Amino acid sequence: MAITYFDKDKYQRKPEWLKVKLPQGEDYKDIRDNLHSKGLSTVCEEAKCPNISECWSARTATVMILGDTCTRACKFCNVKTGNPKGFVNHEEIENTSKMVGLMSLRYIVITSVDRDDLPDQGAGHFAAVIDRVHLDHPETKVEVLIPDFSVDSERMHTLAKSNPYVIAQNIETVRRLTHPVRDPRAGYDKTIECLKFYKTHYPHIQTKTSLMMGLGETWQEIQETLEDLRAVGVDIVTFGQYLQPSKRHLNVEKFYTPEEFDELKRMSLKMGFKFVASGPLVRSSYKAGDFLDYVEAKV
């Protein structure tokens, strides 16, 4: 399939399909006000996600734990980077469970910054949050979007033994573009090895990853990446448009059309992925609970 690149000097003139309405609806407003009154917040709000109303109405949301300062500095990401010096807010365990109750969530995605400053890189805290949600809300499915934990088996076992429904670790881009797109401590093969570990040792847990489109990848490279992911049993893949957060971040090399995203979905399903979300505004946690609907429909 041909991929047509656009004039980079004009990239800020986003195509029509990237324009979205402001969050709206009674569900959205009620949930937002309830969370704010309790001093709680979601990644959905903080990242100004364009899909927030849609996801919240479906009783799906994303929460970020382990603070707001990442020890890594990927060139696509606008999260603050630095050294948290080992600080962990243990109130996140209770607050995450409270959020599930306040929002009546049927599906929650728990993610985090990278925490290379911690001895277990945050695996134990992740497990504690998951365990608390399972205890207080046994009907709620938990998806985790995790760091690679430096592919340390002890840390990865700690996370997986808490038995999340889905474990996601994002490959982000194709092999050739991994650096400088991702921090030097991250890596294409690290992510592949991480996803392989979970599927090998915990085959009942679904594995998931995401790719950003528009960084200069070729169609052939995308296909090769998908082949690598299927080779280690990855179940779910999502595709979304990369958007430059600021001038200091990587340039957008191309805006993919909705038709191209449809083709990515068709190609991925043909290769054997169980579930694919693909579209200009899709993010790794976009309508994550739709996979649950898919599974229930299969039963």
| CATH number of the domain encompassing residue 142 | 3.20.20.70
CB contact at 8 A, 267 and 237: no
Tokens of 198: 């979970």
Residue 97 falls within a domain, yes or no? yes
One-letter amino acid of 235: D
Region 97-102: what's the mean pLDDT?
A: 90
Reported as type and span, the H/E element at residue 144 is: strand 141-145
Residue 13 falls within a domain, yes or no? no
**Would residue 2 be called left, alpha or beta, if left means φ above 0 and alpha means ψ between -120 and 50 degrees?**
beta
Residue whose entry in the numeric block shows the structure tokens 């921090």: 183
pTM for the model: 0.89
Q: In total, how many domains does the chain have? A: 1
pLDDT (tens digit per residue) in 135-145: 999 999 999 99
Which pLDDT score, from 0 to 100, does residue 11 have?
43
Q: Report the share of the chain in percent with pLDDT over 90.
A: 63
Distance separating alpha carbons of residues 208 and 222, to the nearest angstrom: 16
Residue 284 falls within a domain, yes or no? yes
Residue 210 falls within a domain, yes or no? yes
14-17 CB contacts, 8 Å cutoff, 24+ apart: 14/243, 14/255, 15/255, 15/257, 15/280, 17/257, 17/258, 17/280
CB contact at 8 A, 160 and 195: no
Residue 7 falls within a domain, yes or no? no
Region 88-100: what's the mean pLDDT?
A: 92
Which pLDDT score, from 0 to 100, does residue 2 have?
39
The band of 211, judged by pLDDT with boundaries at 50, 70 and 90, is very high
Residue 3 falls within a domain, yes or no? no
In sign, the C-alpha dihedral spanning 297, 202, 60, 191 is negative
Which pLDDT score, from 0 to 100, does residue 288 have?
78
Residue 10 falls within a domain, yes or no? no
Region 100-107: what's the mean pLDDT?
A: 90
Distance separating alpha carbons of residues 105 and 294, to the nearest angstrom: 17
The band of 61, judged by pLDDT with boundaries at 50, 70 and 90, is confident
Region 55-60: what's the mean pLDDT?
A: 70
Which pLDDT score, from 0 to 100, does residue 276 have?
96
Domain that holds residue 90: 20-298
Largest CA distance in the chain: 52
Q: Helix (H, G, I), strand (E, B), or coil: what is residue 223?
A: helix
